[in-house]
Structure 1
Amino acid sequence: MRSRVHGYGLVAVLVLVALTSAALSVAAQSWADAARREKEQQLLRIGTLYVQALERYRRSSPGTDKRLPQELEELLMDSRFVGTVRHMRRLYPDPVGATGRWGVVRGEDGRILGVRSLSEDAPLIMGAVRRPGLLLQPAQRYSDWKFVVDSEQ
């Protein structure tokens, strides 16, 4: 009689462990999705910062020849002026890329038009992304989103 009671206790503990494991796996997936969603929002925010910095660089160009930089580092210290002019505080890493490095989008003249992620992961946002001063078309991969300045100006 006593061995039967222990057998049911063991089965009850195994069922409890299985239910706890299932609940934790659901919670872990939810946390992973939330972290991925947060990184995607950071990508959009930082990409927008690069576009704004590139626009400031071009707008502040002396004279009538409004040019974009040759290298991203020029956004940190604009040497075209006597005083210190910074269009960005630092070069922010790509939040969704494995290396943190950005791909650079260049114009026909070799100057930087914008940046793009190097990540081949699929974005969570499936449609177009509209932000002030930014429009990204629907993409299959993060690398398809190009954060570029308006070339019409």
Structure 2
Amino acid sequence: MRTGDAAIPRSKAPNGFAYLLLLVLIAVLGVASSAAVSLGASIARRDAEQHLLTIGAAFQQALASHGGRPRELDELLKDHRVPGIRRHLRRIPIDPLTGRDSWGVVRDAQGGIVGVHSLAPGKPLKRTGFYSRWKAFEEAGSYRDWVFGARPPVTATPPSPRALR
């Protein structure tokens, strides 16, 4: 035995213990990172859904303001039925879920647009807490079921004028 060896105390832990701890730490950090990314994506999607509701309200107002049934969404940008310039929308908004300015349209029997919806795939995260005019959205299976501007179905007894406000 060499004289220098006796002065160095040996660790009582097995040789691979520090390596195992490092692997466990990396696994825990990976799980935490994955949860944070998932939470961030969920928050971003909820924000996009809220933005979609705001845009949908603008579409609904523009279709009501137009009064008729436009054949194309561009007719909401400049209404040629009246003299001068009348705009119901300043521009066709970007769908916050798809990032495009293309929208699905719902047409009446004559081909006029009565509603718009997002073309985004997937099921909405928001399931409750809608304004009364969008209560049907609580049962939506996809974003295509969030139709903005469509009039309610015709019933045998017409609703009172107060109910339409």
Shorter-chain TM-score tier: 0.7 to 0.9
Counterpart of 1:135 in structure 2 is: 134
Shift of 1:90: 0.7
Shift of 1:113: 0.5
2-side partners of 1:30 and 1:73: how far apart?
A: 37
Q: Would the aligned equivalents of 1:55 and 1:149 in 2 still touch at CA under 8 Å? A: no
Q: Which runs of 5+ in 2 are unaligned?
A: 1-9, 155-163
Please give the per-residue CA displacement for 1:19-57, whole angstroms capped at 9, x wherever unaligned.
Answer: 111111111111011011111111111111101111111
For 1:69-108, list aligned pairs within 5 A.
69-97=70-98, 100-108=101-109
Please give the per-residue CA displacement for 1:65-102, whole angstroms capped at 9, x wherever unaligned.
Answer: xx221110011111223322111111012222475521
**Count of paired positions:** 143
1:18 to 18, 23, 27: 27
Q: Would the aligned equivalents of 2:117 and 2:147 in 1 still touch at CA under 8 Å? A: yes
Percent identity (aligned): 38
Partner secondary structure for residue 14 of structure 1:
helix
Residue type of the partner of 1:135?
Answer: W
For 1:7-86, list aligned pairs within 5 A.
7-58=16-67, 67-86=68-87
Residue type of the partner of 1:103?
Answer: G
RMSD of Structure 2 on Structure 1 (CA): 2.6
Shift of 1:119: 2.6
Partner secondary structure for residue 131 of structure 2:
strand
- With normalisation by structure 1, the TM-score equals 0.80
For 1:113-152, list aligned pairs within 5 A.
113-127=114-128, 129-130=130-131, 134-137=133-136, 138-150=139-151
Q: Would the aligned equivalents of 1:98 and 1:119 in 2 still touch at CA under 8 Å? A: no
Residue type of the partner of 1:18?
Answer: A
